[in-house]
Amino acid sequence: MVIFAYNKEESMKISIIQMKVEWHDMEKNLIRADELINSLPGADLYLLPEMFSSGFSMDPQDIADSHGKVLEWMKRMSKQHEAALCGTVAVEENGNYYNRMYFVKPDGQVTVYDKRHLFTFAGEDKCYKAGEKRVVVEWKGVRILLQTCYDLRFPVFSRSQGDYDMAVYLASWPSARHDVWVTLLKARAIENQCYVAGVNRVGDDPNCHYLGGSAVIDPYGRYIARSADETESATMAIIDMQRLQKFRMKFPVLEDRDK
C-alpha cells in the first residue's frame, strides 16, 4: 500500500531560474544568478540549472568548488531570502569529482545529492564519480526528489514509492534534444502523480546550444509555469498540495505500480 503523509502547508512558491551560464567563470555566474533571484523575491524555493557556476564541463579540476565558495554563496542567498536554494556544482572529495546538487535551507542545513546517471555520451563518467543514493528532502511540507539532467531518462530510479510530492530536474539539456526534455518532464509528472520542476540553462558553451524550456508541471502533465525559450528569466509557480492530495486519493494509480 502507498502511504502519503501531508503537513499543514497547502502550497509552495517556486522560482525557476533560467540563466545563461558563462563558461568557467564562477564570479560572473554568481553575480548573474544573484540578479535573477533578486528580480523575483518572495519564493519559498529557488531552482538553478545544472553546474550553474561553471557550465557543464568535463574539466572538473578547473571548476571544482574546492574552497566552498559557491556553497557559501548559496547559504547566504538562502538566509537573505528566507527560502531554500537548489543547484549543482562540481566538487572534489577524497580524490574524486562529483556533479553535486546542494539543497540549502535558510538555517544553513544542506542536503546533498550526487548525480547518479552520468552522461557517458559526453564522457561525464570518465571525469566524475556517480552517486549511489536516491535523495528526498522535505521543505515547507513538500517532499522533493532531487534529480540531475540525464537522470530524467531513467524512470525506474525516480519511480515514486509514495515518498515524494515533487521531482526536481536541474539540467544542461542541449537544444538538439529539446523535444525529449519536454516529453520526459511531462511523463515523469504523470506516471508518478507528482509535480515536476525542470530547470534548464540558455546560451552556448564550446559544445552545445541551450534554449531553456524550464517549466513546472502538474500531476496531469500540464504546465503551471513555463519560461520563454532562449531567454534568461526568473519564473514563479505555485504548487498546491491539497489539490495533489485529492487527486491521489481519487485516482490512486500508484497503488498498482510494479514493485
Q: Is 9 a catalytic residue?
A: no
According to the 3-state scheme, what is the secondary structure of 55-99? CCCCCHHHHCCCCCHHHHHHHHHHHHHCCEEEEEEEEEECCEEEE
Is residue 196 within 8 A of residue 189, CB to CB? The reply is yes
Distance CA 40, CA 134 (A): 30
- How long a stretch of residues is the chain? 259
Cell of 247: 487527486
Q: Is 149 a catalytic residue?
A: yes
Distance CA 236, CA 25 (A): 27
Residue bearing cell 559544445: 207
- Selected catalytic residue, list 86, 124, 140, 149: 149
- Selected catalytic residue, list 50, 75, 86, 124: 50
Q: Is 127 a catalytic residue?
A: no
Which alpha helices (DSSP H) does 13-59 contain, by range?
A: 26-38
Distance CA 121, CA 118 (A): 9
- Selected catalytic residue, list 115, 140, 186, 194: 115
Please report which helix (H) or strand (E) contains residue 28, including its range.
helix 26-38
Please report which helix (H) or strand (E) contains residue 103, including its range.
strand 96-104
Residue bearing cell 567563470: 25
Q: Which residues belong to the active site?
A: 50, 115, 149
